Amino acid sequence: MSSVKLPVEKFRLGMLLGDTRYRSTTVQVIAFIIFVSVVFWLVDNTVKNLALLGKDVDFSYLWMRAGYDINQRLIPYTNDSTHGRAALVGILNTLLVAFIGCIIATIIGVFVGILRLSKNWIVAKLMSVYIEGFRNIPILLWIVMIFALLTEFTPAPRAFKGADPEASMIFFQSTAVTNRGAYFPSPVWGDGSVYLILIFILSLAAIFLFRRYAKNLQEETGKNLPKFWISLAIFFIPSILFYFILGGPVSLEYPYLKGFNFKDGIYVRNSFIALTLALSLYTSAFIGEIVRSGILAISKGQTEAASSLGLRPSRIMNLIILPQALRVIVPPMISNYLNLTKNSSLAIAVGYMDVRGTLGGITLNQTGRELESMLLLMGFYLCVSLCVSAIINYFNRSFQIKGL
């Protein structure tokens, strides 16, 4: 039986719009060309107009002397440093607030969301008051209020010299909270501290591997290992053991009062504490509602079935409810992490020098480079937002239902 060969239709330009095989691609290409053309026209028009005003787009100001001080910094900086260095200090300050704020907000938000579903009427109502109170008041007011509380209702450093009972150090006389900020013990790294840090890193890796093994074991056999206590032992025992074997290579330098202020230790300004606390508490109220809605999205039948098997409420929550609720919880939490990071730009209200206060504030005013500074500032926030989204989305994919 001979096969009949169909004639092959030759390609014509009219097929780009008339043929459904090419139409969608053609429309997308045309739309992309129009978009690029509009962007190019806007950029070219902006550059030409700036040139007429005697302003060219130039980023060389980043290598000029800054000439201003920054009150809190993670890397060495003086007023003789460049504007680029000042911007880097501000970026690190912003990332520090965002990182710590996201951790605190997540911990508090998860507990608040779970406790709001408590059968205890008082606990549930208190959590409702917490959520409604924080999320319905502007974040800027919370930042200013917490900063005012830290400044007005904490003792001055000189009060620690007297017998004022309110002016006493806490945590075994190691930490001082004053109206200028908090002073914490700082680590002093001696000989052998590198090995101790290596042991600590290996302990973290061992915890990760153990928890993965425990998860696989539970899925394959149903046997549930005490992950929390074993992880806690892996975290502390090797480090403590090698600390004494190495002869105590790490010690603490405690702050002490000298004159009218404290010396040594780690100094954390009230502006940083107020900003981090306000952002954390404000965001945790939204996370609490997300956690509550995620838990309620799980059928009550699963809770009742687990209870009929004799599982305790805590194990039902940890093993059955939360793992499923995470599929609902994680995606909206990304938006709250991004909002916390962007809300850190309100730091200027309490004098905390983040990237908005350095690059988008003093540097911009001193150099007059508004366009360049705003472009760099927007680029920074865009990169941070994309990185946070990518990391959380990668984490979120591990909780999605996998098809056969």
Cβ atoms of residues 97 and 276 within 8 Å? yes
Q: Which residues pair with 269 in a beta bridge?
A: 181
Residue 140 identity: L
Across 141-159, b (16+ Cβ under 10 Å) vs e yields: ebbbebbeebbeebbebeb
Cβ atoms of residues 268 and 185 within 8 Å? no
Q: How far is CA 319 from CA 206, 219, 220, 304, 312, in A?
A: 22, 11, 15, 14, 10
Residue 243 has pLDDT above 50, yes or no: yes
Cβ atoms of residues 282 and 342 within 8 Å? no
Q: Which residues contact 271 (CB under 8 A, 6 or more apart)?
A: 71, 72, 147, 347, 350, 351, 352
Residue 280 has pLDDT above 50, yes or no: yes
164 confidence band (pLDDT: 50, 70, 90): low
**How much is the CA Rg of the chain, to the nearest whole Å?**
29
Structure confidence by residue, pLDDT tens digits, 2-27: 555 656 566 666 666 677 777 778 88
CA angle 381, 28, 379 (to 5 degrees): 10
Query: Could you tell me the sign of the dihedral formed by the alpha carbons of 7, 8, 13, 14, in that order?
Result: positive
Average pLDDT, the chain: 84
Cβ atoms of residues 290 and 105 within 8 Å? no
| Residue 117, φ and ψ in degrees, nearest 5 | -95, 5
Smallest CA-to-CA distance from 336 within 278, 287, 294, 391 is with 287
278 confidence band (pLDDT: 50, 70, 90): very high
| From 125-129, 181-185, 225-229, 235-239, the region with the lowest mean pLDDT | 225-229
398 confidence band (pLDDT: 50, 70, 90): low
For the chain, which domains are there?
Answer: 83-185+254-397 (1.10.3720.10)
Helix H or strand E encompassing 268: strand 266-269
Residue 166 has pLDDT above 70, yes or no: no
Helix H or strand E encompassing 27: helix 20-52
Place of tokens 């090995």: 195
| From 13-17, 24-28, 136-140, 284-288, the region with the lowest mean pLDDT | 13-17
